[in-house]
């Protein structure tokens, strides 16, 4: 670790390394089960066979552009099985185009906060405490 920088020679190397770190960070909650291996192989095969590879990629890109992000805040780092369960619940709730964007925030103590298109559903323990205090103050 101490000699990491000794192996970074150029700014491009630094950018590549930063990009790799970003990729690693973004893949923290990635699951291998979301895109089954079969689907991936079919995609590759279809891509190889496609006469117009640009049109093929544009088509898939448009499909992926339809994805709707659901921001999820948890107080812990979820395991892969839990992420899959959570994704299934979110897709059932908001539709198959719903994609999880998971963030960890210990201050919510427990529970979950869901946010989609500006609409927040706060099911966190912290919020419960706040509501309890508010109702008692009333």
Partner 1 sequence: MSLPIIVMFWGSVLTSTALTVVVIYLLTKYASALEDLNELKIHDRRHEKAEDIVGEAQDQSTEIVADFKEKLTHVTANLELEAQKALLEQVAVFKTELTNEAKKASAETTAQIANSFEGVETELEDYKRARMTQIDAEVQKMITPIAKEILGRSISDSEQEEVVKRMLTKYGQST
Interacting stretch for partner 1, rule CB under 8 A, among 25-33, 38-46, 59-67, 82-90? 82-90
Write out the two tokens for 18: 């930063």
Residue 103 phi/psi, 5-degree rounding, is -130, 140
**Which position among 18, 22, 26, 133 is part of the footprint of partner 1 (CB under 8 A)?**
133
Site string for partner 1, 92-131 (x = CB under 8 A): -x------------x--xxxx--------x-x-xx--x--
- Three-state SS at 78: coil
65-77: string of b/e by CB count within 10 Å (b at 16+)? eeeeebebbbbee
Write out the two tokens for 126: 């912290």
Q: Which residues bind partner 1 (CB under 8 A)?
A: 74-79, 82, 85-86, 89, 93, 106, 109-112, 121, 123, 125-126, 129, 132-133, 136-138
């Amino acid at each position: 670790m101490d000699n990491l920088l000794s192996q970074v020679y150029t700014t491009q190397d630094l950018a590549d390394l930063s990009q790799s770190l970003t990729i690693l960070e973004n893949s923290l909650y990635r699951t291998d089960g979301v895109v089954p291996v079969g689907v991936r192989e079919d995609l590759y095969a279809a891509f190889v066979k496609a006469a117009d590879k640009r049109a093929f990629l544009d088509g898939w890109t448009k499909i992926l552009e339809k994805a709707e992000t659901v921001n999820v805040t948890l107080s812990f780092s979820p395991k892969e099985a839990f992420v899959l369960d959570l994704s299934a619940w979110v897709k059932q709730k908001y539709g198959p185009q719903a994609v999880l964007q998971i963030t960890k925030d210990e201050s919510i103590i427990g529970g979950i906060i869901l946010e989609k298109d500006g609409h927040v559903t706060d099911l966190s323990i912290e919020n419960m405490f706040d509501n309890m205090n508010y109702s008692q103050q009333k």
